[in-house]
Amino acid sequence: MEELRLVDSRHRLRVQQRLAVLAYAEDCGMKAAALYFGLCYRTVRRWRSRYRQGGVLGLVPRYSAERRRRVALDVRELIRKARTEQRFGCARTQVWLQRVHGIRLATSTIQLIFRQLGLRRLTRTPKRRPRQFKLFTKETPGESVQVDVQFVTVAHQRYYQYTALDDCTRYRVLRLYRHLNLRTSVAFLRTVRDELPFPIRQVQSNHGTEFSLPFRLSAEDWGMRHRYIRPRRPQQDGKVERSHTIDEEEFWSRNHFVSFDKAEQALGAWEHQYNTERFSLALKGRTPAEALAAKISTIPVGHLVQEQRTGTAPS
């Protein structure tokens, strides 16, 4: 049929289907056609009317190619910013929209909008790792604090970020040092003891020389147990290792500092943002400060006071 060639290729199959319905209706009647094809009688009658008025072109679907979006444009713009500026995936975007903007969307809807906006998936090169141990989360703040060091580059110089992370709440203390040795490790442990808003029962670290015997003795002098993880098993320090990855992705790679002092000052602001503003999926969408407040509210005040005075857990 010559007129069918004039129909846009996107609608040609739909027009052919409607022509088949009308051909059946011509032979058997419109009610029979509606029953046979599972259509409403009024729909078949409307198609016949359009065909008589405009021929084959009258059967072209009349809805617009770009349908009205169920998600508002301003929300779609927020989703675009979450992916392009914050580099959030679906789950983090969902929590971010709900907590920061009060908007509830399913992750499937967010993923659909990512595709409609032409945004690529977040890709990371998978690294081969040994078999994971089953990791557990401590029930009490301070029951185990993981300590580790990562190397950072500031103004073409190599410095050392010390990190202490509470296993229970993910609450962290960060410091930047010029040197990596026992003196800075002991100084950092003293800072952690003073900065964390709860007593520390145990400190956990790897077997690095910066955490050798004098570091362990200092921890015991301050009423803390010290535990070494198994050699070649960084998974046992998985929470602090993961936090270093977050630091690299969301802090160091997004900022460029001209001096050690500038980097040290910015790291302090990042520590505050991580503890009080950055929500964590591991904490069910809460911040470490919120998780800490929830845990403290369930611990008797007398126990906290006793631990704070003695530095050890009550018997």
In a domain, 66, yes or no: no
Q: How many domains does the chain have?
A: 3
Shared-domain flag, residues 107 and 214: no
Give Cα 309 distance to the centre of its chain: 38
Shared-domain flag, residues 155 and 98: no
How would DSSP label each residue in 225-239? EEEEPPTT-GGGGHH
In terms of Cα–Cα distance, which of 175, 172, 174, 157 is closest to 258?
A: 157
Residue 131 has pLDDT above 60, yes or no: no
Shared-domain flag, residues 109 and 195: no
Shared-domain flag, residues 51 and 152: no
Residue 251 has pLDDT above 90, yes or no: yes
Structure confidence at residue 247 as a pLDDT band (50, 70, 90):
very high
- Mean pLDDT, the chain, whole residue set: 85
In a domain, 36, yes or no: yes
Structure confidence at residue 62 as a pLDDT band (50, 70, 90):
confident
pLDDT at 265: 95
Least confident of 136-150, 229-243, 291-305: 291-305
Helix pair 73-84, 107-116: axis angle to 10 deg: 80
Shared-domain flag, residues 91 and 194: no
Residue 312 has pLDDT above 50, yes or no: no
pLDDT at 84: 87
pLDDT at 263: 95
pLDDT at 64: 62
In a domain, 302, yes or no: yes
Shared-domain flag, residues 152 and 197: yes
In a domain, 139, yes or no: no
In a domain, 85, yes or no: yes
* Best mean pLDDT range from 11-15, 73-77, 128-132: 73-77
Give Cα 50 distance to the centre of its chain: 52
Residue 66 has pLDDT above 90, yes or no: no
Least confident of 16-30, 123-137, 193-207, 255-269: 123-137
pLDDT at 135: 55
pLDDT at 67: 60
Shared-domain flag, residues 160 and 250: yes
Shared-domain flag, residues 106 and 156: no
In a domain, 21, yes or no: yes
Report the C-alpha gap between 280 and 283 in whole angstroms. Answer: 5
Domain with 21, as residue range(s), is 2-59
pTM for this prediction: 0.65
> For 94, phi and psi rounded to 5 degrees?
-60, -45
The token pair at 297 is 């509210």
Residue of higher predicted confidence among 287 and 1: 287
* Residues whose CB is less than 8 angstroms from the CB of residue 30 and which lie 6 or more positions away in sequence, other chains included: 41, 44, 45, 48
Mean pLDDT of 30-37: 92
Within 13 A of 76's CA, how many CA atoms are on the CB side? 14
CA distances from 280 to 3, 99, 242, 243, 289 (A): 59, 12, 12, 11, 11
In terms of Cα–Cα distance, which of 294, 263, 86 is closest to 171?
A: 294
The token pair at 236 is 């046992």
Whether residue 165 contacts residue 145, with contact meaning beta carbons closer than 8 Å, is answered with: yes
Q: Which percentage of the chain shows pLDDT scores above 70?
A: 86
pLDDT at 164: 95
Report the C-alpha gap between 195 and 53 in whole angstroms. Answer: 81
Shared-domain flag, residues 111 and 151: no
In a domain, 8, yes or no: yes
CATH code, 175: 3.30.420.10
Whether residue 171 contacts residue 196, with contact meaning beta carbons closer than 8 Å, is answered with: yes
Whether residue 175 contacts residue 162, with contact meaning beta carbons closer than 8 Å, is answered with: yes
Shared-domain flag, residues 208 and 297: yes
pLDDT tens track for 142-181 = 999 999 999 999 999 999 999 999 999 999 999 999 999 9
Give Cα 72 distance to the centre of its chain: 23
Shared-domain flag, residues 162 and 189: yes
Shared-domain flag, residues 80 and 51: no
In a domain, 10, yes or no: yes
The β-bridge partners of 161 are 150, 176
